[in-house]
Structure 1
Amino acid sequence: MSSGLYGSEQLSELVRGESVLDGAFECLRRIWSRPDALNGQTLTDSEYRTRLLEHHLAAQEPKLYDELNASMGDHPVMNLDSGCGVIMDALSLREGFQLLNDLPDEHGWVVTLEWAGVERLPSETTFMCREWFDAHSPSAVNRDDYRFVGDLDVPQLPASDPSFVWTRHPDRRLEESFKGNYSSEAMIDIYSDTKGLLEDIVAESVHDEFLVTSDHGYVNVQDTNPYVLSDSNEDALSSKFSGRHREVADDYALDQLHDAGVIERAGGHYVVKGHYHPTKPGATKHIRHGGLSLPECMTPVLRITT
């Protein structure tokens, strides 16, 4: 069973499903729906299994990234015709599966979870906000049916139908907490605050139906990683990328990385595939986004009826 990455049910979905991504979603459910998935050593194991799963699927299913690219665009949050659409910056399937476990038990709400591809690449907030709201950042959107929530305090929300809310969390806390090797907060604490923020939004809203999703997910590149770079590709990636995407340029090192399958072109940008990342001396950021990977580009779509 490929080192326990999937069981018989997930294997059946991978083999018989219309898309390998639906099978991948069920494999991720198996990893991240555990009650302790965000805790300590279990979190470390879950992250490694996520990287190993994508590495394995990419080797077994060459169409994986083609299907992931094809899933992008026409995100369900922009097709919302009633209720409240809540966009939580960098909310990933990791948190999505935990919310699916917790919210019905704690509140009696009806909650379902699906996934949708990001609107486009690079998987970066700036690009999504331009596509969805024609603004350069979520805080710059000026519409009567929209509110931006920059912290954990919820302002008065729009009463329009539909209405939209964009929160800076959990991404703000992820960015603050995973700078280098000096994390001061546990992932479970970040999740707890994010869940609390969502509960407050539901309580303050006039709606009883919510679509909760994100602009993108993220990759966690700390600890062990099955994505190994050759020395020459390591040097090329370190010298040409400060994050997980960059603008296209005529450059031998970029051509080398593309030919090696480390990066892929997306319009006017190159994006890093999978969980490749350069190893640099000293502390580096563990939480990253902007590339082409399952955790970044398969966004959670929670539908809540209160």
Structure 2
Amino acid sequence: MKLKNSALERLVQEDDPVQPVWDILYDIWSAESDSVANHYAYEKQASNFERLLLDVYGEFYDTLADRCVNDTSLSVPENGTFVVMDAMSVREAPLFVDVLDSMGYDVDVGYSYSGLPSETKFYRDRVDYRGIKREHKTTDVKSRDPTLDGDEDLVWCRFPDALLESIQEGKTELSTIDEAYEKTENAFRAIVDQLEADRIVFGSDHGYVRLDAGHAFPVSEKWKNRLQEVFTGGRFVSVGDGDASDLVKRGIVAEADGWYLPIGRHTWPARGKYSTFQHGGLSLHECLTPRINATLK
């Protein structure tokens, strides 16, 4: 993709580089498209941007890791509801914004951070999810046709993550990512329809990275083998369980908060069942998550 020089200048000139990175990423995904399938075709542009970012401003990932360690948040709004859409990424945010607009909401979109590693358990630990549940009426949504009381303070929806997990390389329960989104949208609409709150904040515990052909970062056989030795089929490993200092020095892996995490879309061959939709590492789409504020008009 081609970026204006002014966009690249913002990355290195601003005291906080996260906002310009988010703006560029959200601009990619909020471009007009005539179908959900065409919307998800922006993946190539998003991948190209992340590759460019890593090449010209790799220090950004140090900032991102620091924010994921220190600034992860979940705050139930006063007189409102917080809805966690599990694994919602920046890809889905513009689609949900269109849905909310059609349902009569004014919408403002910002960003938030996953925990590290970028998986649900670590996010919940960071935000003290157990403590929040003790103080607020909470429900878990595991059905695409949920039934709510309407006065919940906190809703945790298992979609789109539960659907993405079913899309496997060579064996799919769902045929496409846009089909997974469309099924997720059914649950999303049902949640919004049933909540009585005038204000709803939508967040995510983590996003996901696509590692299918054309979207992953190529690496040499030498570094593929090292990645496989260190991570096998996952996207994080404890520093105490191995030494990846050579991968860190190479700029392929980050060390943060006692974990080794592959940076961006670096990938490697994995034995057995393998999903091209993964999380746990340190990439834009895993760690920089949407925060959507919706208020009834």
TM-score tier by shorter-chain length is 0.7 to 0.9
Q: Which residue is 2:105 aligned to?
A: 109
Q: Which residue is 2:139 aligned to?
A: 147
Measure the CA separation in 1 of the matches of 2:63 and 2:291: 18
1:123 to 118, 123, 130: 118
1:244 to 235, 243, 255: 235
2:52 to 53, 56, 59: 56
- Give CA-to-partner distance per residue, 1:107-132, whole Å, 9 cap, x none: 231011111122x2101101112233
- What code does the residue aligned with 1:27 have? I
Measure the CA separation in 1 of the matches of 2:36 and 2:83: 26
Q: 1:244: how far off? A: 0.8
Measure the CA separation in 2 of the matches of 1:293 and 1:244: 11
Measure the CA separation in 1 of the matches of 2:5 and 2:36: 26
Measure the CA separation in 2 of the matches of 1:281 and 1:148: 33
SS of corresponding position for 2:266? coil
- TM-score (ref. length: structure 2): 0.87
Q: 1:40: how far off? A: 4.3
Does the 8 Å CA contact 2:73/2:113 hold for their aligned counterparts?
Answer: no
Q: 1:256: how far off? A: 2.1
Q: Which residue is 1:24 aligned to?
A: 21
Residue 179 of structure 1 pairs with residue 175 of structure 2: no
Change over 3 Å in CA distance of 1:265–1:157 after alignment to 2 = farther
Q: 1:28: how far off? A: 1.4
- What code does the residue aligned with 2:18 have? L
Q: Which residue is 2:268 aligned to?
A: 278
Change over 3 Å in CA distance of 1:203–1:54 after alignment to 2 = same
2:190 to 175, 183, 200: 200
Q: 1:7: how far off? A: 4.4
Q: Which residue is 1:93 aligned to?
A: 90
Q: 1:230: how far off? A: 2.3
Measure the CA separation in 2 of the matches of 1:69 and 1:258: 14
- What code does the residue aligned with 2:169 have? G
1:78 to 69, 75, 78: 75
Q: 1:192: how far off? A: 2.1
Does the 8 Å CA contact 2:216/2:267 hold for their aligned counterparts?
Answer: no
2:291 to 264, 288, 301: 301
Does the 8 Å CA contact 1:272/1:292 hold for their aligned counterparts?
Answer: yes
Change over 3 Å in CA distance of 1:8–1:251 after alignment to 2 = closer
Aligned CA-pair RMSD: 2.7
- Give CA-to-partner distance per residue, 1:8-47, whole Å, 9 cap, x none: 7745644654433222222212321134387446634x22
2:279 to 258, 283, 289: 289
Measure the CA separation in 1 of the matches of 2:109 and 2:38: 26
Ranges in structure 1 where 5+ consecutive residues have no aligned partner: none
Measure the CA separation in 1 of the matches of 2:248 and 2:8: 31
- Give CA-to-partner distance per residue, 1:260-279, whole Å, 9 cap, x none: 22211222321111110103
SS of corresponding position for 1:284? coil
Does the 8 Å CA contact 1:264/1:272 hold for their aligned counterparts?
Answer: yes
Measure the CA separation in 2 of the matches of 1:159 and 1:79: 13
SS of corresponding position for 1:110? strand
Amino-acid identity (%): 26
Change over 3 Å in CA distance of 1:91–1:42 after alignment to 2 = closer
- Give CA-to-partner distance per residue, 1:124-182, whole Å, 9 cap, x none: 101112233455xx9xx66651111112132334636xx11111100000111x21133
- TM-score (ref. length: structure 1): 0.85
Does the 8 Å CA contact 2:148/2:191 hold for their aligned counterparts?
Answer: no
Q: Which residue is 2:63 aligned to?
A: 67
Q: Which residue is 1:43 aligned to?
A: 40
Measure the CA separation in 1 of the matches of 2:35 and 2:125: 32
Measure the CA separation in 1 of the matches of 2:148 and 2:281: 35
Ranges in structure 2 where 5+ consecutive residues have no aligned partner: none
